[in-house]
Amino acid sequence: MKKNIVVIGAGTMGNGIAHTFAQSGFTVNLVDVKQENLDKALKTITTNLDRIIAKGNLTEEEKAQTLGNIKTFTDIKDAVTTADLIVEAATENLDLKLRIFSQMDELAPENCILATNTSSISITQIAAATKRPEKVIGMHFMNPVPIMKLVEIIKGYSTSKDTFDVIFEMSKNLGKVPVEVNDYPGFVANRILMPMINEAIETLYNGVAGVEEIDTVMKLGMAHPMGPLQLADFIGLDVCLAILNVMYEGFKNPKYAPNPLLVNMVMAGKKGVKSGEGFYDYSESKKAEKVSKMFLK
Ligand SMILES: NC(=O)c1ccc[n+]([C@@H]2O[C@H](COP(=O)([O-])OP(=O)(O)OC[C@H]3O[C@@H](n4cnc5c(N)ncnc54)[C@H](O)[C@@H]3O)[C@@H](O)[C@H]2O)c1
């Protein structure tokens, strides 16, 4: 059984992935270029474990074991020498991912599977940066990782059945529900979600309704736990824009063209929760109040 996991990138997704593997008994080497991000990740994991304890679903001893399963590294070389599986969750940038995969290919043991948590970049293209494309696969966790059950398992053009089977089973061992998906732009989750978010923005842009009105229709009318505009704020408007552009380019289909309001907001630095403002205002004094001045006609 594959036991030694390396997670590259200790941001939003990386800390959640490390937490999930460690809590399921795997040993995890967590790597980031910035020590402060590693420190922050360990803090977040500790807080999240305390939350699970408060709900009665974990003991103090299991928390200690989970944290004991995680080691942090700033140099990938030291982290991957005995890896069975590396899950890359670094910043969403094609050149960066190609560089990391070529480096992992050089440094990791021959049998090690190389997975990526990318939301939108082609697994086939990433695999082509290595000499082991049959061992490269998409493992698309959802945010927040310890809570969300789904993992999209994305087969690149050259991913072997062996690699797929190992990752599918391993996802089940993490208590997740894996779903098999082929490698086309947006995979399944974002191919369906992003056009809905884009259409919600278009509806706002056309003045059909305001921010809260659109979100309320989708929450109360369609039983969505969160409206599409608030969800876009949580995902990050820059991330939504990047994914739409990948689908627009990938399919050469205007139906995926990002709405100009989304483009403008990203250019203005309004990226949602992470920047303090998107369709809602997340500053301390306002706490998710809609930014009505900008959108309501
Ligand atoms: N945020 C989401 O909701 C979400 C959901 C699913 C998938 N994803 C995908 O997960 C990946 C990570 O996204 P995130 O939201 O966690 O990003 P993030 O910006 O929160 O974290 C990225 C981390 O990668 C680190 N990093 C950058 N270059 C590195 C390198 N060479 N080596 C090691 N670490 C490096 C950064 O320092 C940062 O800590 C992306 O591919 C993204 O598309 C994100």
Mean pLDDT of 121-144: 97
Q: Where in the chain are all domains bearing CATH 1.10.1040.10?
A: 190-285
Rounded mean pLDDT of the chain?
95
Q: CA–CA separation, 268 vs 266, rounded Å?
A: 5
85 CB near ligand 1 (under 6 Å): no
Residues of the chain with CATH 3.40.50.720: 4-182
Ligand 1 proximity of 294 Cβ (cutoff 6 Å): no
- The whole-angstrom separation of Cα 214 and Cα 208 is 9
| Nearest residue (CA) to ligand 1, atom 9 | 118
3.40.50.2300, 3.30.70.260, 1.10.1040.10, 3.40.50.10420: CATH of 190-285 = 1.10.1040.10
289, pLDDT greater than 90: no
Whether the full predicted model's pTM is greater than 0.85, yes or no, is: yes
More confident residue, 290 or 116: 116
pLDDT for 293 equals 42
- Tokens describing residue 49: 């474990």
119 is catalytic: yes
pLDDT tens digits, one per residue of 80-123? 999 999 999 999 899 999 999 999 999 999 999 999 999 989 99
Contact in structure between 142 and 169 (CB atoms under 8 Å): no
* 171 has catalytic annotation: no
Q: Is 111 in the pocket of ligand 1 (CB under 6 A)?
A: no
Our answer on whether the CB atom of 100 is closer than 6 Å to any ligand 1 atom is yes
Tell me which of 1.10.260.30, 3.40.50.970, 3.55.50.30, 3.40.50.720 is the CATH number of domain 4-182.
3.40.50.720
Q: Compute the distance between CA of residue 204 and CA of residue 173 in angstroms, rounded to an integer.
A: 42
Ligand 1 atom index nearest CA of 15: 16
Question: Which residue among 38, 44, 91 is best mutated to probe the pocket of ligand 1, counting the most ligand atoms within 8 A of its Cβ?
Answer: 91
Query: What is the C-alpha separation between 229 and 217, in angstroms, rounded?
Result: 11
